[in-house]
Amino acid sequence: MSESTRKKIIAAVMVVVIIWGYNNLKPSDGPTKKPVRTKETAVSVQPPAPPPQSPSAPKLVNVEQQAKEPWGADPFRVKSRSGKKDGKARKKPRWQLSGILHNAQAPIAIINKRQVKTGQTINDAKVVKIDKRTVTIEHNGKRMTLTVTKG
């Protein structure tokens, strides 16, 4: 591409940019009045004025009445999960395996922040087997396999 062709292209682009900028980047001095021509005379049309704002008291809401609505439940209320069944609270035993120290002679598992070995009990469950990645426990005749959890 020759030097003169390059200059012509740059000049044409500059003209297009100036025209675009003039049409799109004009400073606005507020609402403009546009004359409307009719057969008789020219009339100026102004944009409608915003409605007057009257100071009013904030609207009060009856919380008890809103709570009775199906959609009006309090999002900040914590629902109790007590596990009640037949009027009696049932406590479900829970075991959380935090880690395993595996040694061929005496492996140790950390369940509910306590160190246990094979044969010991924790929360009414007997530790049956400790492997490198899992621990098998027995509770009420049922065997369960625990794996390490995060946290």
Q: What is the pLDDT of residues 115-135, one digit of tens each?
A: 999 999 988 899 999 998 899
- Provide the pLDDT for residue 80: 61
Point out which residues pair with 35 in neighbouring strands: 44
- Provide the pLDDT for residue 12: 94
27 located within any domain: no
Per the structure, the count of domains in the chain is 1
- Provide the pLDDT for residue 23: 84
- List the domain range (segments joined by +) for residue 134: 93-147
Structure tokens at 125: 């469950």
Q: Which residues contact 18 (CB under 8 A, 6 or more apart)?
A: none
Residues comprising the chain, all counted: 151
124 located within any domain: yes
CATH number of the domain where residue 110 is located: 2.30.30.830
- Provide the pLDDT for residue 148: 81
- Provide the pLDDT for residue 15: 93
117 located within any domain: yes
Mean pLDDT of the chain: 77
Residue 62 pLDDT grade (very low, low, confident, very high; cuts 50, 70, 90): confident
139 located within any domain: yes
Report CA-CA distances (Å) from 27 to 12, 33, 34: 25, 15, 17
98 located within any domain: yes
135 located within any domain: yes
pTM for the model stands at 0.39
Instruction: Kindly state the average pLDDT of the residues 99-126.
Output: 89
